[in-house]
Amino acid sequence: MSDHEENRETDAHSGTETTGHEWDGIKELDTPLPRWWLYTFYACVVIGVVYMVFLPAIPALPGLSGSGSDHTRGLSNNSERANVAAAMLDLEASRAEGFERLRGTSIDAIEDDPDLLGFVRAAGDAAFGNYCSTCHGSGAQGFVGYPNLNDDVWLWGGSYDEIRNTIRYGVRSEHLDTHFSQMPAYGRDGLLTRSEIGDVADYVLSLSGQDRPADAIARGGATYASQCVSCHMADATGDRSQGAPNLIDQDWLYGGTREQVIATIYRGPYGVMPAWEGRLNDTTIDALAAYVYLLGGGEAAASSPTGQ
């Protein structure tokens, strides 16, 4: 640059000095920076220095490892991780009151308290989305083999306590108190022939009002009486203490076509649900149970409890 200082000249047209450089006859004007730009730039430099002094700025300094981190901390000692952790604690604290009110409260009392009802629906929805929706669906609508929790069909009981127990201990889980039962795989294990299974399917479908051949129903009814009544009961209304579904209603956990019913009898379903005790705290389980109960299918507690 200094080589060209003596070449600086004032441009006649603009009245501005040139830089003194010349490239093939082209000269560059040394136009001053706009003031606002210059001041903004100075302000940025100042802010940059202030930032480095007050906030974490310089990373990867092994010499600082004694402080538990390898970056400068800044005078403000700000840490976004600590901020997030503190915010999470604040969030939990803000929810603590609602969970506290939920503890030991009956479902009727929850329903009658508009604020608690709103809290349960929000807290339960969040927990359901995290832990339950993978199998039961985001709207608790279920899939083939995974019960729909909106309806009034309950394998292991639909009262608040029963739902809570099911969540707590699971179904066919590793928990000692888990709900457990097992339907034989009638086809796979050779307990019934294919035609016998077909007849039982026809009989079962006829129970919920479907039109099936009379001879098949008669043969299937006989097989039912010998093989199925112990769990599904003589009137086929099922047994909640064994998780045996009602066969005369309109709900089919594993599908309601003849093929699906045959397949179910053939292989014997073995649906599992994990036990949530120990993985979720009691109040979260309470919120989940209340949420599921309030999806519309919850039942009043039976005078003599059937399940656990």
Partner 1 sequence: MSDNQKRSMAAPGITRSKAKAVNAAEERELYKKREPIYPKLAHGKFRFVKWVVMAATLAVYYLVPFLRWDRGADAPDQAVLIDFAGRRFYFFFIEIWPQEVYYITGLLILAALALFLVTALFGRVWCGYACPQTVWTDLFIMVERAFEGDRNARIKLDRAPWSFNKAWRKVSKHAVWLVIAAATGGAWILYFHDAYDTLANFFTGQAEISAYLFFAGLTFTTYVLAGTMREQVCTYMCPWPRIQAAMTDREALNVTYRIDRGEPRGAHKKNDPWDDRGDCIDCMQCVAVCPMGIDIRDGAQLECIQCALCIDACDDVMLKVDRPTGLIAYETDDNIDRFQAGEKPRYRFVRIRTLVYAVALVLVAAVMLAGLLNRTELDLNAARDRNPNYVRLSDGSIRNGYTVKVVNKANAPRALELVVDGDPALIVRVLGAADETPMRLNVEADRTRDFVIYLTLPPGAVDVPREDIMFRVLDPATGESAQTRSVLVTGLAE
28 or 112: CB nearest partner 1: 112
35 or 81: CB nearest partner 1: 35
CA angle at 150 for the pair 299 and 265, rounded to the nearest 5°: 95
Q: Is 228 annotated as a binding residue?
A: yes
Cα 164 from Cα 292, distance rounded (Å): 9
List contacts with partner 1 (CB under 8 A): 32, 34-35, 111-114, 117-118, 121, 137-141, 148, 150-153, 246, 249-251, 294-297
Q: Is 44 annotated as a binding residue?
A: no
Q: How crowded is the C-beta side of 90, counted as CA atoms within 13 Å?
A: 6
Least separation, in Å, of the C-beta of 300 and partner 1?
12
The tokens describing 163, both together, are 């739902």
Q: Identify whether the C-beta of residue 122 lies closer than 8 Å to the C-beta of residue 95.
A: no
Least separation, in Å, of the C-beta of 127 and partner 1?
17
133 or 241: CB nearest partner 1: 133
Least separation, in Å, of the C-beta of 194 and partner 1?
30
Q: Is 132 annotated as a binding residue?
A: yes
Cα 170 from Cα 192, distance rounded (Å): 30
Least separation, in Å, of the C-beta of 32 and partner 1?
6
Least separation, in Å, of the C-beta of 60 and partner 1?
34
148 or 178: CB nearest partner 1: 148
Q: Please give the C-alpha separations between residue 133 and each of 174, 252, 296, in angstroms, as whole numbers.
A: 21, 20, 17
Cα 122 from Cα 105, distance rounded (Å): 17
207 or 216: CB nearest partner 1: 207
Binding-site positions for heme c: 132, 135-136, 183, 228, 231-232, 273
Binding-site positions: 132, 135-136, 183, 228, 231-232, 273
